[in-house]
Amino acid sequence: MSAVKFQAEVLENLCIAPDICRMTVRWPVSAGLPAPHAGQFYMLRSWAFDETPMLSRPISVHDYDAEKETLTFLYQVKREGTEKLKALEAGQSLSLTGPCGNGFDTAEIVRTAAGRPVAVVGGGIGTAPLLLLCRELSAAGCKLELYCGFRDQPYGLEEFLPYCAAVSVATDSGAVGYHGLVTEILHPEQFAAVLTCGPMVMMRGVAKLCDAAGVPCLASLERKMACGLGACLGCTCHTKVGAKTVCKDGPVFPAEEVFE
Ligand code: FES
């Protein structure tokens, strides 16, 4: 089902770490709204169309609870748009357009894994879309191991514990876990597939390791977006199979298509 626009009520909006906030909103699928799946995103806007910033903020789905009919976003407060999102309080509302993008094909990942474990690799706020991914894959019987890289203090990892057999952390500062890059502790040959989201430099490193090990890798890209719906071509990226829009053809791509 394609994206819809909906004025959603904020249920909770809390900061869980410096500049990292988690917002839960009501998303009533029982009223006909499409259910999102892992790797999709929404365009969020809590300000009028004649107010700045001009563009809505694309934010990936962190979690979706079908029973409670709630969507959760984990987002980093960077500039004016996300500052305005941070200021929202329970009971207020914002405009959501989505779910957008292709997301992860979890059925295909489960088929590829065929009972072998899958590695999920996140970097910083790139861990946000991986929670719903782990929830969906775990529900489908997939064995998962999570690898995460952060600058200093990790956040939100306790949410992954019900779904992942192991959680490994690397930090640039050495404050928690391995002191170094997450790519230094990842061994793709131990896995049936690797799924990643985070900074481009990290995903490029993950893709390179997977390529060398002959292990399939899917990467979720981030781009500045205007429409979020494939109409403006503002998020076009060049892949080995031609130009693609990150918002509509992606954000999830086979890593070998987008990285050298
Ligand atoms: Fe408009 Fe992707 S943001 S085509």
Interval between CA 90 and ligand 1 midpoint (Å): 30
Per-residue pLDDT, 260 = 74
231 and 166 in contact (C-beta within 8 Å)? no
CB of 55 closer than 6 angstroms to any ligand 1 atom? no
Residues 39, 43, 48, CA angle at the centre, nearest 5°?
Answer: 165
| DSSP secondary structure of 78-110 | -SHHHHHHHT--TT-EEEEEEEES----HHHHH
Average pLDDT, consecutive stretches of 10 residues, N- to C-terminus, the chain (260 residues): 92 96 97 96 96 95 97 97 97 97 97 97 98 97 98 96 97 97 98 97 97 98 92 93 95 93
CB of 231 closer than 6 angstroms to any ligand 1 atom? yes
Interval between CA 3 and ligand 1 midpoint (Å): 13
Per-residue pLDDT, 2 = 84
- Please tell me the distance from the alpha carbon of residue 177 to that of residue 235, in angstroms, as a whole number: 35
Interval between CA 223 and ligand 1 midpoint (Å): 9
> Strand (E) positions, the chain?
4-17, 20-26, 41-45, 57-60, 63-65, 70-76, 93-100, 118-123, 144-150, 166-171, 178-179, 193-197, 217-220, 236-239, 242-245, 252-254
Going from the C-alpha of 149 to that of each of 6, 139, 196, 227, the distances in angstroms are 34, 25, 11, 30
Closest ligand 1 atom to Cα of 245? 2
Closest ligand 1 atom to Cα of 232? 1
Per-residue pLDDT, 232 = 93
Per-residue pLDDT, 74 = 98
Closest ligand 1 atom to Cα of 224? 3
Closest ligand 1 atom to Cα of 226? 3
Interval between CA 37 and ligand 1 midpoint (Å): 20
Helix (H, G, I), strand (E, B) or coil at 182: helix
Which of 7, 217, 32, 4 has its CA nearest to residue 112? 217
- Please tell me the distance from the alpha carbon of residue 118 to that of residue 218, in angstroms, as a whole number: 11
CB of 243 closer than 6 angstroms to any ligand 1 atom? no
Closest ligand 1 atom to Cα of 233? 4
Structure tokens at 38: 């892992």
CB of 254 closer than 6 angstroms to any ligand 1 atom? no
Residue 230 DSSP code: S
